[in-house]
């Protein structure tokens, strides 16, 4: 038989050099590439058989076989697909991207009506070279479906290859990898000769290849009569073949969805929501997405990575494709399978392309619609979601310069002073009385403490509703949102002039004028701690409160900034403090009397009132000892009267 030695083309030599020095992130993907190529060869034969059943003869059981030989240090991958001729081997294996896939894809489109369920993976020649990452010699034996002669191809990856005709009884391709022995034990290829490792790689990368992947395994069996144990060799099917996301939704039970989720994404709980859909048209893809019922343990750690698993025609490509999911939906788990994605030579790093962007945008819209639907039709389920992941929706409003705020605002829900259930901004707006001009909110650590805020008293008296903000990022989100349907947001901690009627304002002016000496002395006693001391009608039962200015940061913002670490302390940024005293409270009359009879005690009263207002707002006292001392002195003084 004639044997010839040929040189690889220049670009092929360059690729081989890169392969041997591991251009791939993980050399284990060699098996995925060879299995993908075998699946491709079977697809091509199946396509041919649609118009000519005779080419299958009696060999119509499509399969991919893998054999391990520890003695010879080899792995063999074999298929009974379309095979190659002498010329095709030179063209496909000796040249980059000359596998004939483009011509095949064209033929596939022409016969699309007959081929709806066929799956084709492109670029045979490229993935084949990944084998040189673990092998120092590759022997390929192949026989085309329409040829009587086989072909043997051998290369060590050094720049040339030998090719000759050979005897081969069955059609298809057989690839024998002679594993390279690495000097560094950490880079050893020996693990690829272990059955458990090959099984692991098949399950990881090729579990949903449509054809059975059979691994030759050694098992120990016991004779029922003699009880003697002996080893036997048999083939074991490793892959699942049919991916759940390719099935019709009507044929999948909730239990099957849940079992797949738990097994695939290592979660012992059932998902809160399953989103399964398929898109066909200019861009085809299937998506199976899950909203977890619980926040993952590592969700807020540095190690957590967002992203969806990515498949191309059932072939696993990437574990975390972060480009498919925006940050505010980073809790979504799932996968996308598309035949239309462009892949680079490693199949691990997607080219930044238009198709990926389109899929990502569609996924975002789909998730948004599903959440809006849940909010509208199943509020209890949505509240469960909100309690776990609501903070992500709020973050999404102010992140990326507010890019998503116009859509995410419709997903916001809050507790309020009126409704026992959580409410949307739309529902709040629908309940607003005509004389209410703003959407009011109050910020704090928890609802129980917020319900007792003195600033609520005046607003409640008017019958106005107030949103409870209990997450630290709530105000960031609202500040970014600015307004909702032309209605501005306003904190009850701000100086709200609209709470006072014209008569109230006139009365307060008179009270402040008549008691200017008292307010001036209290302001002087407190110094720069407050910008102003004044009477108020916003309080009903409480004696005193602090409010912030209308143009600066809020008290909650001040607390949050104080927690931000850094060389430039954000804690230096303070909200404007205005001390308001309830002019109708008995304490105000008592202060007037103290100013008249014991003015020397007014400074202590001022400090106690200010400290009391600070505590109500959730601030720590600057000097608790002084506060305790002032309280003691005033109690002693009161006991004398």
Report pLDDT digits (tens) over 136-188: 999 999 999 989 999 999 999 887 899 999 999 999 999 999 998 876 666 67
335 close to 310: Cβ distance less than 8 angstroms = yes
- Quickly state the pLDDT bin for 474 (edges 50, 70, 90): very high
Mean pLDDT of the region 306-327: 88
| Average confidence score pLDDT of the chain | 86
578 has pLDDT over 50: yes
Q: What pLDDT is recorded for position 354? A: 80
Q: How confident is the model at residue 327 (pLDDT cuts 50, 70, 90)?
A: very high
Q: How are beta strands 578-582 and 544-547 bridged, if at all?
A: antiparallel
Strand runs labelled E in 404-543: 413-416, 423-424, 439-443, 466-469, 483-484, 487-491, 532-536
Q: pLDDT tens-digit profile of 13-60? A: 666 776 666 444 568 888 988 998 899 899 889 888 877 777 777 667
Q: Most distant CA pair in the chain: distance in Å?
A: 124
Query: pLDDT (tens digit, 9 = 90+) per residue, 478-518?
Result: 999 989 999 999 999 886 777 778 888 899 999 999 999 99
Q: Locate the domains of the chain by residue range.
A: 3-237, 244-380, 412-492, 499-640
Exposed, middle or buried: residue 127 (CB in 10 Å: 0-12, 13-18, 19+)? Answer: buried
Give per-residue pLDDT as tens, 389-427: 999 999 999 998 889 999 999 999 999 998 788 999 999
Q: For residue range 98-119, list pLDDT tens digits in order.
A: 433 344 334 434 544 443 333 3
Task: Name 571's Cβ contacts closer than 8 Å, sequence gap at least 6.
Answer: 561, 562
What architecture is the 499-640 domain classified under in CATH?
Up-down Bundle (1.20)
pLDDT for res 21: 61
pLDDT in tens, 528-537: 999 999 999 9
- Does the domain at 412-492 match CATH 3.30.413.10? Answer given as no
Opening angle at CA 464, ends 460 and 465, nearest 5: 95
- The dihedral sign for the CA sequence 563, 569, 572, 575: negative
Task: Tell me the pLDDT tens digit for each residue of 67-108.
Answer: 999 999 999 999 999 999 999 998 888 655 443 334 433 443
Fold entry, domain 244-380: Ribosomal Protein S5; domain 2 (3.30.230)
Does the model's pTM come out above 0.85?
Answer: no
Q: Does domain 3-237 have CATH number 2.60.98.20?
A: no
Question: Looking at residue 253, what is its pLDDT?
Answer: 93
* pLDDT at 352 exceeding the cut of 60: no
Distance separating alpha carbons of residues 290 and 258, to the nearest angstrom: 9
């Amino acid at each position: 038989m004639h044997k010839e030695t040929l040189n690889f083309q220049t670009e092929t030599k360059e690729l081989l050099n890169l392969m041997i020095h591991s251009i791939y992130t993980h050399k284990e993907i060699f098996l995925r590439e060879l299995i993908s190529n075998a699946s491709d060869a079977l697809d091509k034969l199946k396509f041919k058989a649609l118009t000519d059943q005779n080419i299958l003869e009696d060999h119509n059981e499509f399969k991919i076989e893998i054999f391990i030989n520890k003695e010879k240090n080899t792995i063999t991958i074999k298929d009974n697909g379309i095979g190659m001729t002498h010329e095709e081997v030179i063209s496909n294996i000796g040249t980059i991207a000359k596998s004939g896939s483009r011509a095949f894809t064209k033929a596939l489109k022409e016969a699309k009506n007959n081929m709806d369920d066929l799956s084709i993976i492109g670029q045979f020649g490229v993935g084949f070279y990944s084998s040189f990452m673990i092998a120092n010699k590759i022997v390929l034996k192949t026989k085309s479906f329409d040829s009587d002669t086989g072909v043997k191809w051998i290369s060590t990856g050094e720049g040339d290859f030998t090719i000759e005709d050979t005897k081969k009884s069955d059609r298809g391709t057989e690839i024998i990898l002679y594993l390279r022995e690495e000097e560094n034990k950490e880079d050893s290829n020996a693990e690829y000769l272990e059955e458990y490792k090959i099984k692991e790689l098949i399950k990881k990368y090729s579990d949903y290849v449509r054809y059975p992947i059979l691994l030759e395994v050694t098992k120990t069996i016991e004779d029922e009569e003699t009880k003697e144990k002996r080893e036997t060799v048999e083939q074991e099917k490793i892959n699942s073949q049919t991916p759940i996301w390719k099935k019709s939704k009507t044929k999948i039970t909730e239990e099957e969805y849940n079992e797949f989720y738990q097994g695939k994404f290592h979660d012992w709980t059932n998902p809160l929501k399953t989103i399964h859909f398929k898109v066909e048209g200019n861009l085809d893809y299937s998506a199976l997405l899950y909203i977890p019922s619980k926040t993952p343990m590592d969700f807020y750690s540095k190690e957590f990575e967002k992203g969806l698993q990515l498949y191309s025609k059932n072939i696993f490509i990437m574990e975390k494709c972060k480009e498919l999911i925006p940050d505010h939906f980073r809790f979504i788990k799932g996968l996308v399978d598309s035949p239309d994605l462009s892949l680079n030579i490693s199949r691990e790093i997607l080219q930044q392309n238009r198709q990926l962007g389109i899929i990502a945008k569609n996924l975002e819209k789909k998730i948004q619609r599903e959440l809006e639907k849940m909010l509208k039709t199943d509020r209890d389920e949505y509240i469960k979601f909100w309690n776990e992941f609501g903070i992500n929706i709020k973050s999404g409003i102010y992140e990326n310069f507010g890019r998503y705020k116009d859509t995410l605002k419709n997903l916001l829900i809050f507790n309020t002073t009126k409704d026992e259930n959580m409410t949307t901004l739309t529902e709040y707006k629908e309940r607003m009385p005509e004389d209410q001009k703003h959407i009011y909110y109050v910020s704090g650590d928890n609802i129980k403490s917020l319900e007792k805020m003195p600033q609520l008293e005046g607003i409640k008296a008017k019958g106005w509703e107030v949103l409870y903000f209990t997450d630290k990022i709530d105000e960031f989100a609202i500040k970014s949102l600015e307004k909702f349907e032309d209605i501005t947001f306003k904190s009850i901690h701000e100086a709200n002039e609209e709470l006072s009627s014209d008569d109230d304002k006139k009365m307060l002016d008179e009270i402040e004028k008549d008691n200017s000496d008292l307010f001036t002395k209290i302001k002087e006693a407190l110094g720069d701690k407050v910008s102003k001391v004044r009477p108020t009608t916003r309080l009903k039962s409480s004696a005193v409160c602090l409010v912030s200015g209308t143009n600066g940061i809020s008290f909650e913002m001040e607390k949050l900034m104080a927690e931000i670490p850094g060389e430039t302390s954000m804690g230096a940024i303070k909200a404007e403090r205005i001390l308001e005293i309830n002019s109708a409270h008995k304490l105000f009359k008592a202060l007037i009397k103290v100013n008249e009879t014991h003015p020397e005690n007014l400074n202590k009263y001022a400090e106690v009132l200010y400290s009391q207002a600070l505590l109500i707002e959730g601030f720590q006292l600057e000097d608790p000892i002084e506060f305790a001392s002032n309280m003691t002195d005033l109690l002693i003084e009161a006991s004398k009267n």
